[in-house]
Amino acid sequence: MQIQVGYELVYNCPKATPMIVTLNIHYTRMSDVIRPDHMITTPAIPIAAYRDSYGNWCTRLVAPPGRLRISADALVRDRGEPDVVAPWLVQHPVPELPEETLLFLLGSRYCETEPLLELAWRMFESTAPGWGRVQAICDFVHGHIAFGYEHASPTATAWQVYQSKRGVCRDYAHLAIALCRCMNIPARYCTGYLGDIGVAGPNGPMDFSGWFEAYLGGGWYTFDARNNTPRIGRVLIARGRDAADVAISTAFGQNTLETFRVWTDEVAGGEPPLA
């Protein structure tokens, strides 16, 4: 299948404002890109791309005074299959974990582990280590948090979300990640496109989505505490410790986001799923 993905962001800045934006499709999906997500700015301004310490593609620019439109429109080939479910996968003892996973055992800006440690062990110590334990964490988070866009907060941490019991997709991911780390399971935050392919309506407005990956059985696997069911058509943009590492935009000055549009649509008559 083919999926059309893209975005339109319009910022208004009172003066020239340096920005970093993380909006490009992740390099691991490059072989699936049919039409690249080239970034277009209006007015045209110089931009410079680089890879951050997690391998994500980022863009540096200086927004001019006034309105700046940033947009892209891409076409991606996808297998059209739901997220992998592998309940036989085991949890690795900490001494056996690869060094590159250890960072994702530690607390971070939005995924503090200290206040959740006792809670996590009390709730999940009796679960079978491995896939079942991560799924038990997702089940708890899914039922504990009430979803609502009105609950979105750029400062809410996993502990605060646990206490308030409300949030958006990033909050579900942050709480699940923090609980996994408390149980010695490496977990990392993911952001990207996730549309409503295969999901019966009515559906909410399109948005970038947040989920997470846990390290089990020698690899990283997708989990989604917000939806808590395998989904079709995820297109990864970036990975990191939490949302602070993969912010869509970071502005070094005053700005107003006037327009925010995201689209993720299956293209009728696209190529058949890959073999």
Give residue 138's identity as a one-letter amino acid code: C
Q: What is the pLDDT at residue 268? A: 81
Closest CA to 21 of 54, 52, 61: 61
Tokens 């001019």 locate to: 64
**Averaged pLDDT in 10-residue chunks for the chain of 275 residues:** 97 98 97 97 97 97 98 97 97 97 98 97 96 98 94 94 96 98 98 92 80 98 97 97 97 96 87 42
Bridge-based pairing of strands 17-21 and 40-42 is unpaired
Q: How far apart are CA 210 and CA 32, in angstroms?
A: 21
Kindly calculate the radius of gyration of the chain based on its CA atoms and give it in whole angstroms: 19
69, with CB counted inside 10 A (0-12, 13-18, 19+), is middle
Neighbours of 251 (CB within 10 A): 17
Structure tokens at 255: 């700005």
SS3 call for 69: strand
Structure tokens at 168: 């958006």
Closest CA to 198 of 114, 112, 82: 82
Sequence ranges of the domains in the chain: 2-79+248-266, 94-244
Tokens 């899914």 locate to: 142
Closest CA to 23 of 7, 45, 42, 44: 7
Q: How far apart are CA 196 and CA 231, in angstroms?
A: 8
Number of H helices, E strands in the chain: 4, 15
Please give the full DSSP string across 101-122, using - where no structure is assigned: GGGGGS--SS---GGGHHHHHH
Q: What is the pLDDT at residue 160? A: 97
User: Under CATH, which number does the domain 94-244 receive?
Assistant: 3.10.620.30
Q: What is the pLDDT at residue 22? A: 98
Q: What is the pLDDT at residue 174? A: 98
* Rounded-to-10 torsion of CA 199, 239, 139, 220: 100
Q: How far apart are CA 275 and CA 196, in angstroms?
A: 23
Q: What is the pLDDT at residue 200? A: 79
Closest CA to 238 of 18, 99, 59, 113: 59
- pTM here is 0.94
Give residue 4's identity as a one-letter amino acid code: Q
Domain at 2-79+248-266: CATH architecture:
Sandwich (2.60)
Tokens 């009796």 locate to: 126
With a CB cutoff of 8 Å and minimum separation 6, the contacts of 114 are 107
